[in-house]
Amino acid sequence: MLEEESGMSMIEFKDVEKYYGDFHALKDINLDVETGETVVLIGPSGSGKSTLIRSVNGLETIQKGQLIVNGQDLADPKTNLNRIRKDVGMVFQHFNLYANKTVLENIMLAPRLVLHRDEAENKKVAMGLLERVNLVDQANKYPSTLSGGQQQRIAIARSLAMKPKALLFDEPTSALDPEMVNDVLKFMREIAQDSSMTMLVVTHEMGFAKQVADRVIFMADGQILEDSPTKEFFEQPSEPRARKFLSQIVH
Ligand SMILES: Nc1ncnc2c1ncn2[C@@H]1O[C@H](COP(=O)(O)OP(=O)(O)OP(=O)(O)O)[C@@H](O)[C@H]1O
């Protein structure tokens, strides 16, 4: 079955343009993320990384070109955004957990409301995910009582509870204290090892990119300047601006 799926695009940008008013935020974006791939998106602040990743599940709308996610064209009025968001989860910098719900409820809510998953099964899946992130003992606590790293692992578990085909990560470790970063990256690494999971990750964690990414994409000024296999990108980036960016960020 996997063979059938490999080589298929999960996310496809074709000649995409995005404006915020007069500001041209995405310029002629062409990008293909295949099923099972892990792609890391890097670039300077304001280069359009968040805009690109947010457009994949319709949090931003594009003005021109085609964006096809899991076989559905986002520009087609018949496309059901809720269906795309069911298949493509998103993890944010600031976790966005429901403050007034317990950890367990945070994980169980969407599968109950959207997938109508049986309650016992829903709890089993949620507890299994909490076990994976070593947070079973926090199940009945509220998010604000947990550390940032714990909250982010719960946010990722919450996305996984929907059994998505793809996960989008928008700087998932940028808001964390340094000592919390590794636990979150470790969980992300494990998820990436699932060969059927597609991941598109905006991050400044170059170690993660080197270890986990199949490809690295470098953006600047709303454009993709380089899209290379990871080894090639780090050993001999062809774009001068990517070289400069790496020399500033990699120590
Ligand atoms: N809602 C908005 N309205 C107007 N301009 C916006 C909006 N969101 C983003 N922008 C602008 O679009 C450009 C790209 O922003 P974006 O957040 O996508 O960049 P980024 O590469 O993710 O940056 P960072 O690494 O700082 O998060 C920036 O110049 C930003 O100011």
**With a 6 A CB cut-off, is 22 part of the ligand 1 pocket?**
no
pLDDT of residue 1: 40
Quote the ligand 1 centre to 88 CA distance (angstroms). Answer: 22
**Distance from the CA of 23 to the center of ligand 1, in angstroms?**
10
* Assigned domain for 228 exists: yes
Is there an atom of ligand 1 within 6 Å of 49 CB? Answer: yes
CA 48 / ligand 1 centre spacing (Å): 6
Q: Which atom of ligand 1 is nearest to the CA of 47?
A: 21
- Is residue 186 a part of any domain in this protein? yes
Asked, for residue 152, whether it belongs to a domain, the answer is: no
Pocket test of ligand 1: the residue of 16, 17, 42, 47 to mutate, having most ligand atoms within 8 Å of its CB, is 47
Q: What is the ipTM of this complex?
A: 0.97
Half-sphere exposure of 196 (CA within 13 A, CB side): 9
168 backbone φψ class: left, alpha, beta (φ>0; ψ -120 to 50): beta
Virtual torsion, Cα 206, 211, 214, 218, nearest 10 deg: 10
Strand ranges in 84-185 using DSSP code E only, listed in sequence order = 88-91, 166-170
For residue 186, what is the domain's CATH number? 3.40.50.300
Give the pLDDT of the chain (251 residues) as one tens digit per residue.
444 445 689 999 999 999 999 999 999 999 999 999 999 999 999 999 999 999 999 999 999 999 999 999 998 889 999 889 999 999 999 989 999 999 999 999 999 999 999 999 999 999 999 999 999 999 999 999 999 999 999 999 999 999 999 999 999 999 999 889 999 999 999 999 988 999 999 999 999 999 999 999 999 999 999 999 999 999 999 999 999 999 888 55
Give the atom of ligand 1 at the shortest distance from the alpha carbon of 222. 14
Ligand 1 pocket test: which of 17, 19, 20 has the largest number of ligand atoms within 8 Å of its C-beta? 20
User: How many domains does the chain contain in total?
Assistant: 1
Domain annotation covers residue 24: yes
111 lines ligand 1 (CB under 6 A): no
In a domain, 20, yes or no: yes
- Quick check: is 133 in a domain? no
Q: Which range marks the domain in which residue 35 is found?
A: 2-98+166-249
Q: Output the pLDDT for position 77.
A: 86
**Would you say residue 148 lies in a domain?**
no
Cα 57 to middle of ligand 1, angstroms: 17
Residue whose C-alpha is closest to residue 207's, from 224, 191, 227, 184 = 184
237 lines ligand 1 (CB under 6 A): no
Q: Looking at residue 3, what is its pLDDT? A: 44
Which residues fall within 8 angstroms of residue 11, CB to CB, at 6 or more apart? Answer: 31, 32, 33, 56, 67, 68, 69, 70, 88, 166, 198, 200
Q: Tell me which residue of 195, 243, 233 sits closest to 41, measured CA to CA.
A: 233
11 located within any domain: yes
Rounded to the nearest whole angstrom, what is the distance from the C-alpha of residue 170 to the centroid of ligand 1?
12
Q: Are 6 and 34 in contact (CB under 8 A)?
A: yes
| The pLDDT of residue 251 | 52
User: Does the C-beta of 98 come closer than 6 Å to ligand 1?
Assistant: no
Of 177, 226, 234, 188, the residue nearest 43 (C-alpha): 226
Ligand 1 pocket mutation pick from 18, 42, 50 by most atoms within 8 angstroms of CB: 50
The pLDDT value recorded for residue 242 is: 94
